[in-house]
Amino acid sequence: MDIIIYHNPACGTSRNTLALIRHAGIEPQVIDYLKTPPDRTLVRQLAARMGRTIRDLLRENGTPFAELGLNDPKLGDEALLDAIEAHPVLLNRPIVVTPTGVRLCRPCEQVLDLLPEGPLAPFTKEDGEVVIDAAGRRVAQ
């Protein structure tokens, strides 16, 4: 299965998502989107494939969101894409692309909906939260 993850190695959610993909036995194409940001056309396509707006993909915490006035609801997609292009950290992460769909995987467990079904060994996040229990069941979040 071909999988792409738009990843930020400094983000715990992104690291946990990547670990879950690998835990399922899949080695994804990892794109550090801060070093190799997707262009505006791709961001637009990813949002459309997710059924989300460009605004839905913005990250506020730890970004220049407020300083740039991006909370202004009058700003259209082009202005938001300009901001993401100038400041890739504004793009929320991780975004995972698979043949079965595209998703902003926050929380990281959402990636399980994009992976092939099958039994998985237990998995615990970096913070100790159990995602897959000893019986191979997804723990309800």
Residues with a known catalytic role: 11
For residue 8, how many C-alpha atoms fall within 13 Å in the half-sphere facing its CB?
18
Residues 6+ apart with CB under 8 A from 46: 38, 57, 95, 97, 102
64 exposed, middle or buried (CB, 10 Å; 0-12, 13-18, 19+)?
middle
Q: Are the C-beta atoms of residues 94 and 5 closer than 8 Å to each other?
A: yes
The H-assigned helical ranges of the chain are 12-23, 40-50, 77-86
